[in-house]
Amino acid sequence: MHFVNCYADANRADAYATLEFANTYYLAYRDLPAIFAEQVKGTRALDFGCGAGRSTRFLRKLGFEVTGVDVSEDMLRIARAMDPSGDYRLVPGDNFDQLEVAAFDLVLSAFTFDNTPGTMKTRIFCDLGKLLAPKGTIVSLVSSPEIYTHEWASFMTKDFPENATAGSGDVVRIVVTDHQDRRPVEDILWTDESYRAVYREANLQAIQVLRPLAKGDEPYSWVNETTIAPWVIYVLRRAM
Ligand SMILES: C[S@@+](CC[C@H](N)C(=O)[O-])C[C@H]1O[C@@H](n2cnc3c(N)ncnc32)[C@H](O)[C@@H]1O
């Protein structure tokens, strides 16, 4: 399958850079500080698919010493402009040779695997596992399959009824309504079962899986967020 990373696009990158932590994105990030406090020992972090740096700056504010990597130069250009003292690097072809092996206490991947074809996932998770310090943790935040078939405070999917019949590995479409670029984002649907198969092949085990729901008392106009989880958070360690 030929799949184009829609974030390798200057206009999309500019729009994406305006997103912060409101609406449906609030739920993506809400539980991360508690997960890190409980599961991560040490402060060295890799932000895999750092984009315009939102997730990297989030980690830096929590006290992590972070390297952000991405395959989109358009995204990295903005990340560096918004955070000149940050460490942001291009990793063409997901070649991690420039990164120190067995060094990172935390690898965060926020939404990156939504844009990664299934054929690449196992190889990338294997390589990320090699970068982990002995007791290091991967936190992989991804879209739930349900995000593509419902409406949300931050997203619209009703124009894409074909999403309902998509299977794991198929392209699905979603519009981000929190920013100016209303062109659909093309993602790859990947089910929980498929993620678990990838983790097994990459010699990783899921020690925690969270599906964050809104409580209802947040200052956002929730649509389905109180009853259906838009995100899945996998907390992973190397299997023994
Ligand atoms: C939806 S953005 C999320 C950015 C950031 N993590 C955040 O939370 O704002 C996904 C990012 O993953 C990057 N990406 C997609 N496939 C990738 C890959 N194979 N390796 C590294 N980055 C990738 C895209 O270029 C894009 O910047």
Site of tokens 């997203």: 155
Q: How far is the CA of 8 from the centre of ligand 1 (A)?
A: 9
| Per-residue model confidence (pLDDT) at position 173 | 97
Sheet bearing 104-110, strands edge to edge: 87-90, 65-70, 44-48, 104-110, 132-143, 231-238, 204-210
Summarised one tens digit per residue, pLDDT across range 64-121 is 999 999 999 999 999 999 999 999 999 999 999 999 999 999 999 999 999 999 989 9
Pocket probe for ligand 1: among 7, 21, 154, the residue whose CB has the most ligand atoms within 8 Å is 7
Residue owning tokens 């020690």: 207
Alpha-carbon gap, residue 139 to 190, rounded angstroms: 17
Identify the residue whose C-alpha is closest to ligand 1 atom 1.
111
Exposure on the CB side of residue 107, measured as CA atoms within 13 A: 33
Q: Could you tell me if 186 and 173 are in contact, meaning their C-beta atoms sit under 8 angstroms apart?
A: yes
Cβ atoms of 211 and 231 within 8 Å: the answer is yes
* Cα 112 to averaged position of ligand 1 atoms, centre (Å): 4
Ligand 1 pocket check for 7: Cβ under 6 Å = yes
Pocket lining: 89 vs ligand 1, CB cutoff 6 Å = no
- Residue pLDDT, tens place only, 157-208: 999 999 999 999 999 999 999 999 999 999 999 999 999 999 999 999 999 9
CA–CA distance from 45 to each of 24, 50, 57, 141, 145 (Å)?
A: 25, 12, 12, 15, 28
Which of 193, 114, 191, 118 minimizes the C-alpha distance to 155? 114
**Residue whose C-alpha is closest to residue 235's, from 207, 214, 213, 212:** 207
Strand partners, 106: 45, 137
The atom number, within ligand 1, closest to the CA of 8 reads 25
Rounded CA-CA distance 185/19 in Å is 15
The per-residue pLDDT of the chain, averaged, comes to 97
How far separated are the first and last CA of the chain, in Å rounded?
34
Pocket test for ligand 1, best of 3, 4, 5 (most atoms within 8 A of CB): 5
Asked if residue 212 has pLDDT above 70, the reply is yes
